[in-house]
């Protein structure tokens, strides 16, 4: 790195410093008010902002601009236009207007709409989001935008996220006013921890399953996995460290606060975590982070895998969504302070979150539902599909005392100390529970169920809106109370009692928890096809309509899109598996049996014992026959998809029938991998992929 971090940080983002330097003072103040308080932007200032933004972008080498948006594909989209404008006489000018900044018109016909739009209804609009800074990528000025159809229906993930942020801000401000605080804006903040795998590019190129599906559809366990627990926080390999250094620099340039990096539990697995940002910006930055991870990995001879479970038998990759609520004055509303028992404001907001998670546990599960994440949830490194809230021993005891009406005696402050040369370390309010899907971790909640490839907007839309509903109900009740202190104390006790079932500080991996959760009446939506039909339950539609986040039509479309995506994903995986078995694995098996047979015949001719060759040939031949039979089972399953079923029925069929057939065939193929010599096995093995130099 030739420059210091402060010098390069944000150098490729049109952030506060660039705005302050290049915008007229009145324009700068108006734009900052929109960013800070969420007030509507005056269109009259758009030309001034556009001109300054263009001049800044040109000074950084940009030649094009794009409205950068997040359609329902789960990734970002962009259409590039140059700043070039004819000037007459064969000359050209570089121009950019306020109209071009505020509104774009992409073709909306080929993006998922879930039936909201017909294919021939092509027009769509992108609209500038001034609360998220523009940035330069590949000599293009990228302007974060929302995306909607010609008739106004939402076709993206940013718009409902912004709406949910407005909802929780409005209701939180109502509650804070009862505490004598006049807040103009309350924001949720997020710090998403991003897990990923790095593998060699040349090995990736030899695995058609990784190329087409993002995960290995075959792969026998390597002799060594993660059982020695030696990779987690271990020394970072020089090649990987060079990638991380390069990635950090690219992220810092566009204003992403990349902070933490380390080896994760599985071999070849790593993690990057940023500093907290406003949820909207954190979402944009996480999408940009995933894109830059792939790009930088390529420069270093790697491929970055973001699938939730690229390798069977070892940890998959998640994205822990660290979520909190803050005021425009910087107060963290989930900070318990030194004495949580007397911090009525904290207890009220904590109760609101607990109530929201309990009442809308189905929505939170749906927000992390995908074909990839289904392979991960419930495994050793991921929380189960059952929602529960971990609050730790101290807060748990406090909530128990509130529920029972007992006086709460806080535990003595314990300080951890080691040898005499080590300083004492005060304990945090709570421990960390890796098995909990939704854990309180000091002054925030860590929603651990998200998959690594997911857009975090979905989970935060659900979370923001559900908590906004709790706060709305609290404000409605308390605004008319004669004695606020007594009324709020009674409300907290009542709601903690009503939603105590969602609190669980134990081991979420233990099989007994499934039984216990069922007794408590908690939902256990094990798969995406099982979860998604609940998205449009009446209570969920009512929630989103009440807070103006989604209409019923927009919810129906999202449900349709996700169910179709699930079925298409499994279909692609199944077709890829069939292709690899027919064209690669079975021919390799036939070649090995032929080689063994030829060797046995030659040995028999000179009187050498052939028992080994004959036994191996018979074993491989029998296993190949099993694989061929189960391959036919996959093909039959694909041919029998019910034509008269709705999207939910089709998704369920792919899960129950096609995916089940694939798992049987995989077991055959993985067995054959252990029987064939390395020279004949057609793909890099787990040993090759995970334990490179």
Report d(CA 162, CA 280) in Å as an integer: 7
pLDDT recorded at residue 405: 81
Rg of the chain taking only CA atoms, in angstroms: 28
pLDDT recorded at residue 428: 62
What number is the average pLDDT over the span 27-36?
86
Residue 416 scores a pLDDT above 90? no
Residue 111 scores a pLDDT above 90? no
Report d(CA 279, CA 158) in Å as an integer: 10
User: Which of the 8 DSSP states describes residue 217?
Assistant: S
Tokens linked to 480: 């008319």
Give the closest residue to 35 by CA, choosing from 131, 129, 152: 131
pLDDT recorded at residue 510: 85
pLDDT recorded at residue 621: 96
Report d(CA 591, CA 52) in Å as an integer: 67
Report d(CA 400, CA 406) in Å as an integer: 8
Report d(CA 471, CA 62) in Å as an integer: 45
Residue 6 scores a pLDDT above 60? yes
pLDDT confidence band for 72 (50 / 70 / 90) = confident
Residue 657 scores a pLDDT above 80? yes
Give the closest residue to 272 by CA, choosing from 248, 294, 253: 248
pLDDT recorded at residue 2: 62
What number is the average pLDDT over the span 659-672?
97
Least confident of 414-423, 515-524, 676-685: 414-423
Residue 306 scores a pLDDT above 90? yes
What number is the average pLDDT over the span 509-515?
88
pLDDT confidence band for 350 (50 / 70 / 90) = very high
| Residue 88, phi-psi category: left (phi > 0), alpha (psi -120 to 50), beta (remainder) | left
Residue 420 scores a pLDDT above 80? no
**Per-residue three-class SS string for 553-618:** HHHHHHHHHHHHHHHHHHHHHHHHHHHHHHHHHHHHHHHHHHHHHHHHHHHHHCCCCCHHHHHHHH
Contact 284, 132 (CB under 8 A): yes
Summarize pLDDT for 170-200 with one digit per residue, the tens: 999 999 999 999 999 999 999 999 999 999 9
Summarize pLDDT for 553-602 with one digit per residue, the tens: 999 999 999 999 999 999 999 999 999 999 999 999 999 999 999 999 99
What is the chain's mean pLDDT, rounded? Answer: 91
Question: How many C-beta atoms surround the C-beta of residue 179 within 10 A?
Answer: 12
pLDDT recorded at residue 368: 96
CA 397 to chain centre: 32
Contact 129, 280 (CB under 8 A): yes
pLDDT recorded at residue 381: 59
Residue 627 scores a pLDDT above 60? yes
Contact 160, 154 (CB under 8 A): yes
Q: The tokens 């005021």 sit on which residue?
A: 327
Contact 405, 493 (CB under 8 A): yes
Report d(CA 321, CA 278) in Å as an integer: 12
What number is the average pLDDT over the span 661-681?
97
Contact 204, 307 (CB under 8 A): no
Residue 409 scores a pLDDT above 70? no
Residue 380 scores a pLDDT above 60? no
For residue 373, what are the CA distances in angstroms to 105, 161, 632? 34, 22, 27
Question: How many C-beta atoms surround the C-beta of residue 393 within 10 A?
Answer: 12
∠ CA 73-297-311, nearest 5°, is 70
Do strands 64-68 and 140-149 pair parallel, antiparallel, or not at all (unpaired)?
parallel
Residue 394 scores a pLDDT above 70? yes
Contact 147, 73 (CB under 8 A): no
pLDDT confidence band for 22 (50 / 70 / 90) = very high
pLDDT confidence band for 411 (50 / 70 / 90) = low
pLDDT recorded at residue 35: 80
Give the closest residue to 153 by CA, choosing from 122, 117, 110: 117
Contact 282, 274 (CB under 8 A): yes
Outline where DSSP puts E strands in 357-498: 389-390, 415-416, 425-426, 438-440, 445-447
Contact 131, 38 (CB under 8 A): yes
| Residue 437, phi-psi category: left (phi > 0), alpha (psi -120 to 50), beta (remainder) | alpha
pLDDT recorded at residue 664: 97
pLDDT recorded at residue 459: 97
pLDDT confidence band for 528 (50 / 70 / 90) = very high
pLDDT confidence band for 39 (50 / 70 / 90) = confident
DSSP bridge partners of 323: 190, 445
Summarize pLDDT for 424-479 with one digit per residue, the tens: 656 666 666 677 899 999 899 999 999 999 999 999 999 999 999 999 999 999 99
Summarize pLDDT for 47-67 with one digit per residue, the tens: 899 999 999 999 999 999 999
pTM (predicted TM-score): 0.93
At what angle are helices 344-359 and 457-478 packed, to 10 degrees? 120
Q: The tokens 């690899």 sit on which residue?
A: 580
Residue 109 scores a pLDDT above 80? no
What are the residues whose beta carbons fall under 8 Å from the beta carbon of 504, sequence distance 6 or more? 388, 389, 390, 436, 513, 516, 517
Q: The tokens 């940080």 sit on which residue?
A: 9
Choose between 551 and 122: higher pLDDT. 551
**First-to-last CA distance in the chain?**
24
pLDDT recorded at residue 283: 96
Count, residues in the chain: 693
**Per-residue three-class SS string for 474-497:** HHHHHCCCCCHHHHHHHHHHHHHH
pLDDT recorded at residue 384: 80
pLDDT recorded at residue 424: 63
pLDDT confidence band for 308 (50 / 70 / 90) = very high
pLDDT confidence band for 223 (50 / 70 / 90) = confident
Residue 344 scores a pLDDT above 60? yes
Contact 567, 652 (CB under 8 A): no
What number is the average pLDDT over the span 327-351?
93
pLDDT recorded at residue 427: 61
pLDDT recorded at residue 231: 78
């Amino acid at each position: 790195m030739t420059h210091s971090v402060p010098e390069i940080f944000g150098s490729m983002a049109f952030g506060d410093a660039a705005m302050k330097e290049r915008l007229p003072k009145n324009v700068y103040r108006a734009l900052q008010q929109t960013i800070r308080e969420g007030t509507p932007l005056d269109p009259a200032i758009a030309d001034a902002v556009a001109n300054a933004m263009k001049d800044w972008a040109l000074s950084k080498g940009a030649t094009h601009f794009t409205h950068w948006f997040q359609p329902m594909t789960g990734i970002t989209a962009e259409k590039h236009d140059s700043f070039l404008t004819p000037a007459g006489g064969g000359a050209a000018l570089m121009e950019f207007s306020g109209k071009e900044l505020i509104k774009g018109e992409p073709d909306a016909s080929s993006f998922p709409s879930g039936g909201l739009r017909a294919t021939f209804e092509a027009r769509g609009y992108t609209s500038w989001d001034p609360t998220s800074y523009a940035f330069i990528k590949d000599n293009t000025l990228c302007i974060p935008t929302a995306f909607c159809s010609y008739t106004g229906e939402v076709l993206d993930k940013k718009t409902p996220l912004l709406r949910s942020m407005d909802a929780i801000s409005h209701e939180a401000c109502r509650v804070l006013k009862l505490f004598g605080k006049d807040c103009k804006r309350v924001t949720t903040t997020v710090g998403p921890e991003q897990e990923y795998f790095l593998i060699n590019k040349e090995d990736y190129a030899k695995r058609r399953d990784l190329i087409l599906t993002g995960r290995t559809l075959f792969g026998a366990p390597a002799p060594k996995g993660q059982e020695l627990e030696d990779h987690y926080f271990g020394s970072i390999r020089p090649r990987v460290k060079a990638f991380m250094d390069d990635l950090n620099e690219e992220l810092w340039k566009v204003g992403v606060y990349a902070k933490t990096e380390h080896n994760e539990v599985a071999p070849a697995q790593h993690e990057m975590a940023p500093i907290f940002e406003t949820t909207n910006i954190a979402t944009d930055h996480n999408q940009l982070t995933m894109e830059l991870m792939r790009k930088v990995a390529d420069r270093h001879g790697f491929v970055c895998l973001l699938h939730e479970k690229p390798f069977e038998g070892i940890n998959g990759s998640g994205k822990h969504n660290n979520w909190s609520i803050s005021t425009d004055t910087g107060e963290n509303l989930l900070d318990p302070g030194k004495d949580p028992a007397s911090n009525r404001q904290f207890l009220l907001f904590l109760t609101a979150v607990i109530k929201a998670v309990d009442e809308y546990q189905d929505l939170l599960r749906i927000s992390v539902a995908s074909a990839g994440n289904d392979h991960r949830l419930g495994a050793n490194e991921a929380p189960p599909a059952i929602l529960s809230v971990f609050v730790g021993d101290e807060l748990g005891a406090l909530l128990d005392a509130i529920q029972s009406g007992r006086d709460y005696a806080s535990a003595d402050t314990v300080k951890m100390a080691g040898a005499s040369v080590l300083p004492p370390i005060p304990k945090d309010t709570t421990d960390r529970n890796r098995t909990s899907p939704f854990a309180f971790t000091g002054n925030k909640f860590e929603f651990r169920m998200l998959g690594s490839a997911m857009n975090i907007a979905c989970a935060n839309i659900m979370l923001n809106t559900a908590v906004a509903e709790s706060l709305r109900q609290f404000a409605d009740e308390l605004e008319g109370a004669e004695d606020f202190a007594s009324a709020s104390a009674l409300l907290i006790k009542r709601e903690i009692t009503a939603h105590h079932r969602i609190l669980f500080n134990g081991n979420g991996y233990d099989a007994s928890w499934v039984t216990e959760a069922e007794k408590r009446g908690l939902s256990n939506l094990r798969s995406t096809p099982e979860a998604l039909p609940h998205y449009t339950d009446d209570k969920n539609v009512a929630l989103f309509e009440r807070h103006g986040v989604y209409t019923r039509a927009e919810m129906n479309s999202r449900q349709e899109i996700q169910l179709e995506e699930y079925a298409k994903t499994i279909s692609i995986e199944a077709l890829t598996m069939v292709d690899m078995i027919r064209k690669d694995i079975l021919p390799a098996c036939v070649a090995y049996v032929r080689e063994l047979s030829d060797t046995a015949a030659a040995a028999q001719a000179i009187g050498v014992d052939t028992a080994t060759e004959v036994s191996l040939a018979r074993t491989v031949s029998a296993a190949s026959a099993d694989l061929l039979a189960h391959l036919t089972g996959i093909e039959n399953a694909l041919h029998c998809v019910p034509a008269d079923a709705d999207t939910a029925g089709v998704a369920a069929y792919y899960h129950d029938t096609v995916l089940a057939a694939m798992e049987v065939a995989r077991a055959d193929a993985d067995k054959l991998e252990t029987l064939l010599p390395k020279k004949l096995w057609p793909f890099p093995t787990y040993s090759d992929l995970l334990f490179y130099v």
